[in-house]
């Protein structure tokens, strides 16, 4: 793994200089986006708008419905081939990932037109960025929303209710309502400051976590019977097929909600899911309780993330082969 200190990081002063002196920006986040990626991008969008910048918010696949409340009045749009020639900016800002491939085809378009690309993130990078790309990565932050909060403060931004809602969403989502924090008060302190900015924290919590449907409950009932337990019931996992995704009308973020439930089993130290995707691809997610195994297992598949919450994409193996490899690694 490439060490963060060895990577071409853009420092605080250079990032703020770029945001102050460039005129046009396109903002995006990773495919299968989540509350942190979308929330941090939306907050930065409004912050740059306040600086009278030309800003576009572009996503690379449909945004899950639970996050639509964040996109009001943003004029966000889905990247498409018919928009490709017209879409340009001085800088492409990518939030909540440091892997450009997770933002294709938008990322490849900006590479082709040779524009500057900056990743704003809190995940540990696994590779050095390509030419004309820079990392702004703070692995000490609980979420990219926390990173963006500090950026907006450096820009002397007046935090509006729209920004506060987006940032509170980022932090709340990525900490799972603060359950994943350890020995850190900073996220609580920022959240408390944001809560003073005339936002509806109860609405945000419901939008993020009250997402259960009858289909999702029926899937959970079926899954309880088919979940796999190993290593003396310290490891739990499950496989989701394309047929199940269609039958139960599931979105990918629904699956991670269920994976998080397995961490509540007292004996569980590690859990995983394997989701079958089109064209022989599999999406993997991992959670660990008191170790960095989630990141280590994800890294073994070419992925990454956090110490205790990570994931990867795999092609060329069957679900059984993937599962065997996970268990063997542990």
Q: What is the pLDDT of residues 160-201, one digit of tens each?
A: 999 999 999 999 998 888 877 765 789 999 999 999 888 999
Q: In whole angstroms, what is the distance from residue 16 CA to residue 13 CA?
A: 5
Same domain? 75 vs 119: yes
Same domain? 23 vs 144: yes
CATH code of the domain containing 190: 3.90.1640.10
pLDDT of residue 176: 81
Q: Last residue of a domain, which of 181, 208, 235?
A: 208
Same domain? 221 vs 142: no
Same domain? 279 vs 166: no
Residue whose token pair is 């945000």: 204
Same domain? 286 vs 189: no
Q: Is the pLDDT of residue 6 over 90?
A: no
What mean pLDDT is predicted for residues 82-97?
88
Write out pLDDT tens, residues 210-223.
Answer: 878 898 889 989 88
Q: Last residue of a domain, which of 159, 193, 208?
A: 208
Same domain? 243 vs 289: yes
Same domain? 308 vs 238: yes
Contacts (Cβ under 8 Å, ≥6 apart) of 89:
24, 25, 26, 54, 56, 115
Same domain? 235 vs 322: yes
More confident residue, 319 or 250: 319
Same domain? 230 vs 136: no
Same domain? 58 vs 194: yes
Same domain? 132 vs 270: no
Residue 241 Cα to chain centre, angstroms: 23
pLDDT of residue 3: 41
Q: Tell me how many domains the chain contains.
A: 2
pLDDT of residue 50: 97
Whether the Cβ atoms of residue 312 and residue 304 lie closer than 8 Å to each other: yes
Q: In whole angstroms, what is the distance from residue 268 CA to residue 34 CA?
A: 25
Q: In what order do the strands lie in the sheet with 133-137?
A: 77-78, 54-59, 24-29, 91-95, 116-121, 133-137
Q: Last residue of a domain, which of 193, 208, 223?
A: 208
Same domain? 132 vs 172: yes
CATH code of the domain containing 318: 3.10.310.30
pLDDT of residue 193: 93
Range of the domain at 226: 214-329
Q: In whole angstroms, what is the distance from residue 125 CA to residue 94 CA?
A: 14
């Amino acid at each position: 793994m490439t060490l963060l200190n060895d990577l071409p990081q853009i420092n605080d002063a250079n990032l703020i200089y770029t945001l102050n002196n460039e005129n046009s920006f396109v903002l995006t986040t990773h495919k299968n986006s989540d509350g942190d990626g979308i929330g941090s991008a939306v907050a930065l969008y409004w912050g740059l708008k306040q600086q009278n910048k030309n800003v576009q918010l572009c996503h690379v696949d449909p945004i899950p419905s639970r996050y639509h409340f964040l996109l009001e009045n943003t004029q966000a749009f889905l990247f498409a081939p018919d928009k490709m020639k017209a879409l340009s900016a001085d800088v492409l800002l990518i939030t909540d990932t440091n892997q450009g491939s997770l933002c294709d085809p938008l990322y490849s378009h900006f590479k082709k037109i040779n524009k500057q690309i900056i990743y704003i993130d809190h995940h540990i990078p696994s590779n050095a960025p390509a030419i004309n790309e820079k990392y702004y990565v703070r692995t000490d932050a609980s979420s990219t929303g926390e990173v963006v909060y500090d950026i907006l403060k450096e820009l002397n931004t007046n935090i509006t209710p729209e920004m506060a809602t987006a940032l509170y969403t980022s932090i709340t989502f990525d900490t799972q309502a603060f359950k994943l924090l350890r020995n850190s008060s900073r996220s609580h302190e920022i959240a408390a400051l944001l809560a003073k900015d005339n936002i509806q924290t109860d609405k945000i919590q419901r939008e993020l976590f009250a997402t259960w449907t009858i289909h999702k409950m029926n899937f959970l009932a079926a899954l309880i019977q088919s979940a796999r337990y190993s290593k003396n019931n310290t490891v739990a996992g499950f496989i989701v097929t394309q047929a199940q995704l269609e039958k139960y009308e599931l979105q990918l973020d629904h699956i991670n909600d269920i994976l998080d439930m397995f961490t509540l089993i007292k004996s569980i130290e590690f859990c995983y899911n394997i989701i079958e995707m089109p064209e022989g691809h599999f999406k993997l997610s991992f959670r660990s309780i008191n170790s960095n195994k989630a990141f280590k297992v994800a890294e073994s598949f070419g992925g990454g993330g956090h110490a205790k919450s990570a994931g990867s994409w795999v092609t060329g193996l069957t679900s059984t082969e993937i599962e065997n490899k996970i268990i063997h690694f542990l």
